[in-house]
Amino acid sequence: MRNTTEVTLQSPNSSDGYELNRLIEKSPPLDPNSVYCNLLQCTHFRDTCIGAKSNGQLVGFVSGYLLPEKPHTLFVWQVVVSEAARGQGLASRMVLALLKQPACREIDFVETTITPDNKASQSLFKKLGDTLKTEVQILPGFDTAEHFNGQHESEELWRIGPIKK
């Protein structure tokens, strides 16, 4: 797929849920979710998610939602790009396209959590801060002992913003 096939970015729909689940399963170290969870992302949260398709196949996805207590903050839950579509800046394109969606136009901040060893995600969100010409703060997030009973690495909270309109 590299550099030969056009990729379209669009809001997901219900028929993308199963394919999203398979894409995440093939993309460690992402935490897999149930098909039902991915179906809800593609329907209930479709306005704050974006998919990338090539030849009708899902090759990338950004899932997010507006934080209920901070409605001007988009929390990015997962970013996934298929192995065949990596190395083309697709993750950055998807996040920037998501911020232009009607539901996200009033966003002042983007938040996400990242494990300290996930260099790809760190690079993506540093680049997002640079592109948006804004701050990137790294704050305590979820602790391995306190929140994961030692079964998952700690996650740092990355806060990007304020986003200038």
pLDDT in tens, 92-151: 999 999 999 999 999 999 999 999 999 999 999 999 999 999 999 999 998 888 888 888
Angle at 122 between CA 118 and CA 126, to 5 degrees: 175
Spatial distance between the Cα atoms of 127 and 110, rounded to a whole number of angstroms: 13
Tell me how far apart the alpha carbons of residues 23 and 32 are, in angstroms, rounded to a whole number: 9
**pLDDT for residue 4:** 52
Instruction: Look at residues 117, 116, 38, 107 and name the one whose alpha carbon lies nearest to residue 78.
Output: 38
Mean pLDDT computed over 43-53: 98
Average pLDDT, the chain: 94
Quote the pTM value: 0.93
Mean pLDDT of 32-52: 97
SS3 14: helix
Q: State mean pLDDT over 7-34.
A: 95
Q: Does the structure show a pLDDT above 70 at 1?
A: no
